[in-house]
Amino acid sequence: MTTRHNTISSAIRHNIRQLELFANLSDDEIDILVKHAKIRSLDEDEALFHEGDNGEFFAIVIDGRVEITKLAENDTPVAIASLTHGATLGEMALIDRERRSASAIATEPSTFFVLSRQSFDKLIEQSPRCGVKLIQRIAAILCSNVRRTSNLFADSIEPCLRQQPF
């Protein structure tokens, strides 16, 4: 795994501006955010994190692809998502400070914009307005994920409900 400290280029800065999570930030707020972030590169089959790890950062896929897996009851990994450019991951652990609920493995060479919990906390202290905007966007992403998961769950149990009388 490669991490470049404070080497976020103007091209990456421009790409960050295009991401939905940061679309409502001003140029000054983007600059503050970039000062606190790192770029992390992974090779194919390299893990960004594993289920059960401490949730010390969140990431956004800049390029490449990452597969999200969850261990089934028999300890077999089950793919639950495949994420590409612009997708966020790890935001739950950043907010609730719990351990990782799934693993993230690069399925091809991939690059991530990474913000550690420590840097996120410093950003909120230094620029509360920027922090509030980020927390609002993260909350919106989490709400969207819950809605999507609820719909998938309802669709999956609906056939069972039709078969059982109440």
Measure the CA–CA gap between 77 and 81, rounded to whole angstroms: 12
Q: Where are the domains of the chain?
A: 2-163
Q: Tokens 């490669």 appear where?
A: 2
**Under CATH, which number does the domain 2-163 receive?**
2.60.120.10
- What letter would DSSP give residue 21? G
Nearest to 102 by CA among 64, 48, 139: 48
Residue 81's beta-bridge partner residues? 68
Three-class SS state of 127: coil
Cβ atoms of 93 and 55 closer than 8 Å: yes
Report the pLDDT value the prediction gives residue 165, as an integer from 0 to 100. 63
- What is residue 71's predicted lDDT score, i.e. its pLDDT? 94
Q: What is the pLDDT of residue 6?
A: 44
Note the helical H segments in 102-165. 117-126, 128-163
Q: Which of 100, 106, 93, 99 is nearest to 67 (CA)?
A: 106
pLDDT, position 46: 98
pLDDT tens for each residue of the chain, 166 residues long: 555 544 456 776 777 777 878 878 888 888 888 888 899 999 999 999 999 999 999 999 999 999 999 999 999 999 999 999 989 998 887 788 899 999 999 999 999 999 999 988 888 898 898 888 888 888 888 888 789 878 877 877 877 777 766 5
